[in-house]
Amino acid sequence: MSETAKPALKTSAFKVPGEGSSATISLVTVLAIVTLWFIVTNMGWIKPLFLPSPQATYQQFYEYLTGAANDKPLWEHFTMSLFRVFAAFLLACVLAIPIGIAMGMSRVWRGIFDPPIELYRPLPPLSYLPLIIIWFGIDELPKVLLIFLSCFAPLAMAARSGMRSASQEQMNAAYSMGASYSQVILHVVLPAALPEILVGMRVSIGFGWSTLVAAEMVAANVGLGQMVLNASNFLRTDIVVMGIIVIGVVAYMFDLLMRWFEHKLVPWKGRM
């Protein structure tokens, strides 16, 4: 077959669906899940003890939101949980990112920090929760520390991995233009590592939020995790489901916020 006889490839056939269509599909999926939930609960196929109806769940959300529930209002639980998670997350950012950068730049720092991080990273938070309680008591410190440890490892690993993102050609080009070692790190290596660091921040805040229930097992009297645990003790499945939905929605909002920061800070990501 000659070159002129070859069929031309149409680029439109390889188009990736846009964000709009993806959002529409997601919305339809959520509506389908809620509809199925409404049908199986209102038809009596599942007992309310195991799965409450959407109406009962919304009723509990309304009562907690307005302060009519026999518990602290929702905003009080939410504020305290938010404080614990963000205090731990910010502390992890301050410590883990520089340590990860140091690990990516120096074999000495990598040799120092790599063993302890790799040792505790695969452990579930509940496994070292008793030790934290023995060491630090039952005040706010162990709760924040438990969330901090769940955030620390993915942040440090992301920063370490990101330090390898800058190519040798980029660094050589900077050196050839008279840049010093510190200028190459500041203006070449760190901008190249920033996308990986932001991804690590997204992952770590998700880990921190998912550790919330475990952290609030430590003698907490307020917090979303404590609200869910306390309701489960009295078999109040409607409150448990309501709390789970609130925790999930807040986690999704965190992820959207981190995606927005990523879009603003590294707009070139994915366009190279």
> For residues 173-192, b (16+ Cβ closer than 10 Å) or e, as one string?
ebeeeebeeeebbeebbbbb
CA distance 217 to 223: 10
Query: 220 in a domain, yes or no?
Result: yes
**Phi-psi domain of 176 (left: phi exceeds 0; alpha: psi -120 through 50; beta: other):** alpha
Burial of 233 (0-12, 13-18, 19+ CB in 10 A): exposed
CB 150 within 8 A of CB 127: no
Q: Indicate which CATH number applies to the domain containing 188.
A: 1.10.3720.10
For residue 178, give its domain range. Answer: 70-265
Q: Which residues of the chain have pLDDT under 50?
A: 1-17
* Predicted confidence (pLDDT) per residue in 112-126, tens digit: 999 999 888 888 888
Q: Evaluate whether residue 230 is within a structural domain.
A: yes
Do the Cβ atoms of 194 and 162 come closer than 8 Å? yes
Closest CA to 77 of 213, 208, 211: 213
The reply to whether 63 falls in a domain is: no
CB atoms < 10 A from the CB of 92, how many? 26
pLDDT at 13: 41
SS3 235: coil
Q: Distance (Å, rounded) from C-alpha 131 to C-alpha 122?
A: 17
Which residues are CB-neighbours of 254 under 8 A, at least 6 positions away?
205, 206, 209
Burial class (CB in 10 A: 0-12, 13-18, 19+), 119: exposed
* 140 inside domain: yes
Q: Is residue 103 part of a domain?
A: yes
Residue holding tokens 């994915």?
270
In a domain, 161, yes or no: yes
Q: Determine the 3-state secondary structure of 269 from DSSP.
A: coil
Structural domain count, the chain: 1
**pLDDT the model gives residue 1:** 44
pLDDT at 126: 82
Examine residue 185 and state whether it is found in any structural domain, yes or no: yes
Taking alpha carbons only, the member of 248, 236, 243 closest to residue 30 is 248
Q: Which amino acid is at 208?
A: G
